[in-house]
Structure 1
Amino acid sequence: MKVSELARRAGVTAETVRHYTREGLLNPVKDPDNGYHRYAQQDLNRLSFIQRARTLGFSLGEIGNILEHADLGDSPCPLVRDLLAARLPEIRQRIEHLQALADRMEQALRAWQDMPDGTPDGHSLCRLIESVPVPGPRPEETP
């Protein structure tokens, strides 16, 4: 099948198929008559696998490593478990940082509710932002 058919059947764009092909995640054969890439059912299966792996947050590099293990006949499952186990604490920390950001934004909106708008005058750009306290260094930024 051609790029467009594979993309349609997988529910992705043709550019996504081309990108994954350039990254080496899909391995089509070249049609000797016209040089077009021809994809097989196996490529559709791999594309479906790639989509599932992406929903779990795996990078394309990690997915390539997983596929390489599978292509060699080795079970990639231990690698998958290890990658996910290592990533989960990072994701939880990012969620905490994003929740703290959301809390600061909500606090700022409440504080700004009754503040008048200002006009830049050479000393002030936006009094709303300038009313926010300057944060101290985060623990990971201290020497």
Structure 2
Amino acid sequence: MKVIDIAKAAGVNPDTVRFYTREGLLNPARNPANNYQQFGNEDLRRLRFARKARQLGFSLPEIRSILRQADDHHSPCPLVRDVFENRLAEVEREIRELHQLRDRMKSALSAWQTMPDGTPDGHTICRLIEHWDESTGLRD
């Protein structure tokens, strides 16, 4: 298969195939007649795997480690579980932080609706922000 063929078969664009090839996840052979890269079924399987792993949030180095373990005939499943548990905890922390940010933003916007616009006077830049008190959500 050429780049375009494997890209279509995996549901990705050709640049993705080239990227994963440069990163060493795919190992195409070279056609001696024209020096084109020739991808096989193993490359297609690895490309589909990498795509699914990316959709689940695995990073490129993590995918590389998983493939390396599989290439060495060791089950990568314990690694996958461990990485995934850590990533899930990280995502949940980020979600909590985003919820807190959203609440601060809503509170600030609500308070700012009744505050007059101010002009920088050498002592202030933007009174909306400078007078914001996170603990109360009101002007300080």
TM-score tier (shorter): 0.7 to 0.9
CA RMSD of aligned residues (A): 1.9
Contact 2:7 2:14 in 1 (8 A): yes
Q: Residue type of the partner of 2:4?
A: S
Q: Distance in 1 between matches of 2:100 and 2:68?
A: 39
The structure-2 alpha-carbon separation of the partners of 1:9 and 1:119, relative to structure 1 and needing over 3 Å to count, comes to farther
Alignment-derived partner of residue 13 in structure 2: 13
Q: 1:12 Cα shift? A: 1.6
Structure 1's unaligned 5+ residue stretches are 136-143
* Structure 1 residue ranges (4+ consecutive) displaced by more than 6 angstroms after TM superposition: none
Alignment-derived partner of residue 102 in structure 1: 102
Contact 2:104 2:134 in 1 (8 A): no
% identical aligned pairs: 56
Alignment-derived partner of residue 54 in structure 2: 54
SS in structure 1 at match of 2:133: coil
Structure 2's unaligned 5+ residue stretches are 136-140
Q: Residue type of the partner of 1:50?
A: A
Q: Distance in 1 between matches of 2:120 and 2:25?
A: 52
Q: 1:121 Cα shift? A: 4.0
The structure-2 alpha-carbon separation of the partners of 1:37 and 1:118, relative to structure 1 and needing over 3 Å to count, comes to farther
Q: Distance in 1 between matches of 2:134 and 2:91?
A: 26
> Normalising by the residue count of structure 1, what TM-score does the alignment of the two structures yield?
0.82
The structure-2 alpha-carbon separation of the partners of 1:30 and 1:116, relative to structure 1 and needing over 3 Å to count, comes to farther
Q: Distance in 1 between matches of 2:35 and 2:105?
A: 54
The structure-2 alpha-carbon separation of the partners of 1:12 and 1:127, relative to structure 1 and needing over 3 Å to count, comes to farther
The structure-2 alpha-carbon separation of the partners of 1:8 and 1:125, relative to structure 1 and needing over 3 Å to count, comes to farther
Q: Deviations over 1:6-54 (max 9, x none)?
A: 2222222211111111111111112223322111122222111111111
Moved more, 101-110 or 81-90: 81-90
Q: Deviations over 1:96-126 (max 9, x none)?
A: 1111111111111111122233344443333
SS in structure 2 at match of 1:124: coil
Contact 2:119 2:125 in 1 (8 A): yes
